Amino acid sequence: MESVQAIKQRFEIIGNDPKLNRALEKAIQVAPTDISVLVTGESGVGKEAVPKIIHSLSHRKHAKYIAVNCGAIPEGTIDSELFGHEKGAFTGATQTRRGYFEVADGGTIFLDEVGELPLTTQVRLLRILENGEFLKVGSSQVQKTDVRIVAATNMNMIEAIKEGKFREDLYYRLSTVDIHIPPLRERSEDVHLLFRKFASDFGQKYKMPTIRLRDDAIQLLTKYRWPGNIRQLRNVAEQISVLETERNISLSTLNDYLPNANDSNLPAVIERRKKESDFSNEREILYKVLFDMKGDLNDLKKLTLELLQNNDSSKVQEENEHLIRKIYGTNGEDAKEEDSKALKVLPLPEARIETGPEIQQEDKYHFAEEIEEEETLSLQEKEIELIRKSLERNRGKRKAAAAELGISERTLYRKIKQYDL
């Protein structure tokens, strides 16, 4: 078994970070087996080196090694690319084609960005992991393949599973061994070593003197967060090597090539879950306002009935105006106008009101019916307005409008017929 240092020299891996060394140790230990491996880490950390190490140290090293970027293949053709297709299986299939899993039989397949696979393709991949069987597109004949699968992703797979974007059973089959490559910001001692290696390579490539950093520039280099990781560091080294005539790079010069360098010591941005659309938020706020208004109206109804029973007209008027101002944010005569228009509350009587139990009960129910009818109409009108706006915004496409409204397409169709939209 080769040592970690020998593997670094062989594959030109720079760095002495303990987390990086541990990842390489796991790759060396798992290589002789046929266990599936999932390589995780941010974009640009160099995940593609791990499957090469695993393949080169395995008993499959003399067979084919195929790397597939799952995110770069269109969803409509990815099954054909991976599993092959029969002649006439779809438009343009003029001849039978072998897929990657058939071509790599006996070897290793590296599935980069495996989190981008469509769910239908994930089912096919799970079958290969379980028993090595697959079907070509357009074929009913089961075929066998013997491949070692190494996958990689920069996605949070647990979140993808919760959101229904990735199958949980496939995740656990792929991640029999999980190898995590640390981001560059956690390998601060390796940053300058990598930069010197890249600067030397580009000096030779472009036949120019190798650039060097001053002490203050080295400090900035190691403190910077490197959101693009090794890929970004390599690009910066190449830009400076080509563009700068002064080969001794100062702090100010390096700072020009690092976006947001002054904010490099700030904490990393924490990934947040995607929020619902603004339209959904507006709808929730609207319903909350309506239900809050309903509670205020019920309070107004209860208070008015109590004060009318006590025959305190002035107190009724005072409390009535207070609640109206609370609901509408108005005052004085404006509140009274809103009261009479929106709530349909009758003007308070000047004369003494009979307080028999039958009259009180009748008035109470009559008043409740007035309010409930008005509230129901308001909610219905708002629903019609929301549906109409969503249909206009989506140019009459019911499926898109239903998704935006958070209801099924069938429910939307029923409401369109119900409201004659």
- 262: three-class secondary structure by DSSP: helix
Query: How sure is the predictor about 273, in pLDDT bands with cuts at 50, 70 and 90?
Result: very low
Determine the average pLDDT of the residues in 93-111: 94
Query: How sure is the predictor about 126, in pLDDT bands with cuts at 50, 70 and 90?
Result: very high
What is the distance between the alpha carbons of residues 269 and 266, in angstroms, rounded to a whole number? 9
Q: For the chain, report the end-to-end CA distance as a whole number of angstroms.
A: 73
Q: Is 80 exceeded by the pLDDT of residue 206?
A: yes
The reported pLDDT for the residue numbered 102 is 95
Most confidently modeled range among 17-21, 286-290, 370-374, 387-391: 17-21
Determine the average pLDDT of the residues in 6-26: 95
Q: How far is CA 201 from each of CA 7, 52, 420, rounded to the nearest angstrom?
A: 20, 22, 71
Query: How sure is the predictor about 370, in pLDDT bands with cuts at 50, 70 and 90?
Result: very low
The reported pLDDT for the residue numbered 404 is 81
- Amino acid in the structure at residue 295: G
Q: Is 80 exceeded by the pLDDT of residue 382?
A: no
Determine the average pLDDT of the residues in 323-349: 48
The reported pLDDT for the residue numbered 275 is 46
Q: Is 60 exceeded by the pLDDT of residue 312?
A: no
Chain region(s) in the chain for CATH 1.10.8.60: 185-263
Nearest to 101 by CA among 74, 73, 62, 127: 127
Q: Is 50 exceeded by the pLDDT of residue 73?
A: yes
Determine the average pLDDT of the residues in 186-198: 95
Work out whether the CA dihedral 113, 116, 119, 124 comes out positive or negative: negative
Average pLDDT, the chain: 82
The reported pLDDT for the residue numbered 220 is 95
Chain region(s) in the chain for CATH 3.40.50.300: 4-182
- Amino acid in the structure at residue 200: S
Cβ atoms of 384 and 421 within 8 Å: the answer is yes
Q: Is 70 exceeded by the pLDDT of residue 347?
A: no
- 215: three-class secondary structure by DSSP: helix
Cβ atoms of 151 and 36 within 8 Å: the answer is yes
Q: Is 80 exceeded by the pLDDT of residue 374?
A: no
The reported pLDDT for the residue numbered 36 is 96
Other residues' Cβ atoms within 10 Å of the Cβ of residue 330: 16
The reported pLDDT for the residue numbered 241 is 95
Determine the average pLDDT of the residues in 212-217: 95
Determine the average pLDDT of the residues in 133-160: 95
| Cβ-based neighbours of 334, under 8 Å, separated by 6 or more | 328
Q: Is 90 exceeded by the pLDDT of residue 357?
A: no
Determine the average pLDDT of the residues in 20-38: 96
* CATH level 3 topology of 185-263: Helicase, Ruva Protein; domain 3 (1.10.8)
Query: How sure is the predictor about 321, in pLDDT bands with cuts at 50, 70 and 90?
Result: low
Q: Which residue matches tokens 């990657």?
A: 100
∠ CA 260-261-263 to the nearest 5 degrees? 70
Determine the average pLDDT of the residues in 208-227: 95
* CATH node for 4-182: 3.40.50.300
* pLDDT higher at 276 or 126: 126
Determine the average pLDDT of the residues in 260-278: 51
The reported pLDDT for the residue numbered 417 is 79
